[in-house]
Structure 1
Amino acid sequence: MNIWARVSRSRSIKPVLVAGLLIACLLTGCARAKKSDSAFQPSDVTSVPMGDPFVQDINRLGINALKLVNQDEAGGGNLILSPISLATALSVLSNGAAGATLEQINGIVNSRGLSQNEHNNRYRDLISSFYNRKDMVILPANSLWIKRNYPFKESFAELAKAWYDADVFSLNDKASSAVNEVNRWVSDRTKGLITDPLSEIHPLTVMLLVNTLYFRGTWENPFDDSFTRKEDFTLSTGETVKVDMMNSRLMVPFHDAGDLKAAKLYYRGGVSMLFLRPEENVNDLLSDLTAEKLFEINSHLAIHTTDLKVPRLDFGYKSEMSDCLKALGMVDAFTDGVADFSRMVDGKKPSVSRVLHECRLKLDEEGTEAAAVTAIAVTATSAMPEPEQIVDFYLDKPFVFAIVDERTGAVLFLGKVENPLG
């Protein structure tokens, strides 16, 4: 069942990042939405310590998921995922899980074994830190769409509202109207960048859990488009293609590890884009990448005067993530008769049937624009500068990138570019 329509291209060239998550719970029968009376109380948190285990779980999920998806794709094509969108979705879902089902979800997003309240509180702090930003926009959003007359526990909706600032709606009994209402909410929360992620709703659907993440920022040092020109980009096959290559000389964090070079470009307001250019095959780099290694590379960066070549990017990617999450240990949630979501519903045995994830990225002289949508369906059954040394950092072959929130260390988007032309 393909519930996705094509993500629309934004006409704006302003740098924007959008991630979205939809969790569709499909259960036999009807359901009744119960709007939570709990109100989200944002904290005054503006940052989280770099390397925090809570954030590392988010990043580890993203990196491990990207590696598995890359294996499924046999290493070909551009990829992009949103670790924080996936992790937020699973964390909301975990509030309805119990027993081994909860343990397996927590093994992915809560490896330190925090209590459910402590885990939820960390996400409240993360969401609050995004709300409290200046000079940039990072807007997470969550919603529950619950069908009438189904025995959902009100406490599940209350937790989503109180900890994740979720809106709670009644899911329209008329499928076409429900699709329009959900898509309208997504379009509003993503500023029109994602307009129609949902093309249909299965007749057994009793709940949709929707998560979006919207980011907009500009480079601290925009590229001069007068220096952008057609240049060669060498593909993994050895072929070359002509791409629009942006050029600049900037003082940026840079590291040469021998087998790879890394450089970081900053957006205004505390988000960065880290580029990893391997000397050999990009898939070998990705297969060896871990959250710890990403943190280590970041710690070795030092300011250098750098001649930069960065291709313009405009591509999208979508994937069904169920097998990926099963491979990461989340098995019971997908198994009919075994999945335990007893903290979500009374007297029923729902199970997750699908996890869909879609992202879009656009990078140009002003900054970055991207969109991501994920769906989970549940069914019944810095160092001292070296100003005199000029180094080259040319992204003229396949590379890996991570868009990172510098105040929390959370990876917002993570991907691989095989061909800037898409």
Structure 2
Amino acid sequence: MMDHYKRANDALHPTPEAVERAVGSGTLRKKRKPMKALVPAVAAAVAVALLITGIPGTGGNNSGPLAGRAYAIALPTYPDLPQYPAEPAFATEAAWERYQEEYDAYWNAWRDYRDEVPALYKTPELEEALAAFTGESTALALAGEDNRIYSPVSLWFALAMLAETTGGETRQQVLDALGASDLEQLRDWADILWHTLYQDDGTATTLLGNSIWLNENVTFHQDVLENLAEHYYASSYQVPMGTDEADQALADWVAEQTKGLIGSDGKVLETTTDTLNVLASTLYYQAGWSDEFNDRLTEEDIFTAADGTETQVDFMHTTRDATFLRQDGYQAASLGTKGGTMTFVLPDEGVSPADLLADPDFLTQLTQSENEIYGEVQWSVPKFDVDSTLNLKPTLEGLGITNVFDADASDFTPLTDIEPVWLDQAKQIARVKVDEKGVEAAAVTLMADNAGAAPPEDSKICVMDLDRPFLFIIRDGSAILFVGVVEQV
């Protein structure tokens, strides 16, 4: 495993003495099972979820021993993953025999890891709950206008950690939104999702990262930190909230987890002295198309934005035999990846992406194979680099998670004895880039607590000319990592 999964970056390197001072008994290290080796995928994507808990009037002196540093008080241990072997440079018989041995060892190690827990597709309760959460939360999160991108997986893990830090009806609302019966089931589900999604073999990557950032002036319950490390691979840090040092330490951690796609150009969050804690959940996803676009076929054309504005954009072109959908109000087709799919949805003229997303079953319909048509798909895909910032407070409230925003009703007693504590803000920042080689995307979720005409129906040709607002879905198996709406490029 890369070094940044065993330690924080330079700004987060506490000395052993500092760690000892921070926790009294020393660091908490939780060993986890080996991670799954990476299967090549279509895009690079990052999601970061931050839940910020606030408290009233902590104040305090922020010039103490943590100023400019972050004390690591719980760091999960990530074992090394098998690396996909490089093909031999010289095609001798002996070289190919060694390569075959390495290849067999790689896949055996990968299968051993996958056999440790049930696969996602063999866990119907989780698969159904995740699909329901994704459908409902996506419809809520992507309501609105302009470009917008949402990662349901990032929010899922952030909410799972939130459930660990809350109690009573506050926790129950989170469990209900995720479809879990209790914490034990949620922990099992988190393990399955990690085994399903986490992958890194040197050719493409899907990485998940979790952490909790704690106010140095507040006492927290150690068992919760241990549970976060054990069940969610979450590191714990103490920082002087309300300082540039604390904000920079968090940004540096996010930048390292997301390979610089988020956090490298400034703060991801501005804390205050009343910030109790921050829960951060990252998702990084990178790979290329199964069949890259030929850049010699890329040429300028016009993209018409939702407001009618026309822009000259580079369009990538290809034609492939594949399956596609033609439903009431839209048509959809997927581009193959080296381990997943990226589906593009083109609404009919007069139908907006928001109209489609208003149906919570919309994403599920995209996977109904009985409606697929096999034929020729003619692709015209704009190269784009889009970003968005979503306010997720209405999304959480729409999911029934309301107590966390109410200082009189919220219950954070599993984490701390401080009262009252409540969730003050929730947002997700995301960015997606598409070119001839693949996709690169990033998202960060922040939650703060304060103490043309469609072809004929019988046609076997699907013209996916994405020259007007469209949607995309980045998927790993049955798990949807990102959903985006591109209104303008």
Q: What TM-score, normalized by structure 1, do the two folds share?
A: 0.84
Distance 1:294 1:160 in 2: 31
- Counterpart for residue 184 of structure 2: 117
Distance 1:34 1:152, change over 3 A: farther
Cα distance change on mapping 1:237 and 1:24 into 2, 3 Å: closer
Structure 2 partner of 1:259: 329
Residue number in structure 2 paired with 1:169: 237
Matches within 5 A, 1:59-138: 59-71=131-143, 73=144, 76-109=145-178, 111=179, 113-132=180-199, 134=201, 135-138=203-206
Taking a change above 3 Å as real, the CA distance of residues 90 and 373 of structure 1, as seen in their structure-2 partners, is same
3-state SS in 2 of match to 1:167: strand
Alpha carbons of structure 1 residues 30 and 67: separation in structure 2 relative to 1, 3 Å: same
Q: Show CA shifts across 1:45-75 (max 9, x none).
A: 584118944244444444434433454x3xx
Is the CA contact (8 Å cut-off) linking 1:39 and 1:162 kept in structure 2? no
**Distance 1:37-1:328 versus aligned 2 partners, 3 A rule:** closer
Matched residue, 1:248 = 318
Q: How far apart, in 1, do the equivalents of 2:429 and 2:368 lie?
A: 30
Give the structure with higher Rg (CA). Answer: 2
Indicate the larger mover: 18-27 or 46-55: 46-55
Deviation at 1:347, TM superposition (A): 4.8
Tell me, in whole angstroms, the C-alpha distance in 1 between the residues paired with 2:136 and 2:59: 36
Deviation at 1:261, TM superposition (A): 0.7
Query: Contact 2:378–2:464 (CA<8 Å) still a contact in 1?
Result: yes
Aligned to 2:73: 35
Specify the code of the residue in structure 1 equivalent to 2:48.
G
From 260, 267, 270, the equivalent of 1:200 is: 270
Q: Secondary structure at the match of 2:121?
A: coil
1:328 has 2:399 as partner: yes
Structure 1 residue 305: Cα displacement: 2.6
Q: How many residues align?
A: 391
1:286–1:359 CA distance, 2 compared to 1 (3 A):
same
1:365 maps onto 2:436 in alignment: yes
Partner of 1:26: 54
Sort the Cα spacing of 1:308 and 1:283 in 2 relative to 1 into closer, same or farther, 3 A: closer
Q: Please report how far the alpha carbon of residue 176 of structure 1 lies from its aligned counterpart in structure 2 after TM superposition.
A: 1.4
| Partner AA of 1:188 in structure 2 | E
Identity %: 25
Amino acid corresponding to residue 173 of structure 2 in structure 1: Q
Which among 36, 40, 45 is matched to residue 17 of structure 1? 45
SS of 1:397 mapped into structure 2: coil
What is the alpha-carbon distance in structure 2 between the residues aligned to residue 305 and residue 47 of structure 1?
33
Structure 1, unaligned runs of 5 or more? 1-13, 381-387
Aligned to 1:159: 227
Write out aligned runs for 1:135-146 (5 A): 135-146=203-214
Q: 1:341 Cα deviation (Å)?
A: 1.5
Q: Does 1:216 align with 2:286?
A: yes
Name the amino acid aligned to 2:46.
Answer: V
User: In the alignment, which residue of structure 1 is the partner of 2:347?
Assistant: 278
Q: Distance in 2 between matches of 1:235 and 1:345?
A: 49
Using a 3 Å threshold, how does the CA distance of structure 1 residues 169 and 284 change in structure 2: closer, same or farther? closer
For the aligned residues, what is the CA RMSD?
A: 2.7
The superposition leaves residues 69-123 of structure 1 with CA deviations (integer Å, 9 ceiling, x where unpaired) of: 454x3xx3111111111111011010122221112112211x2x43211211211
Contact 1:38–1:158 under 8 Å retained in 2:
no
What residue ranges of structure 2 are gaps of 5+ in the alignment?
A: 1-41, 61-65, 80-112, 452-458
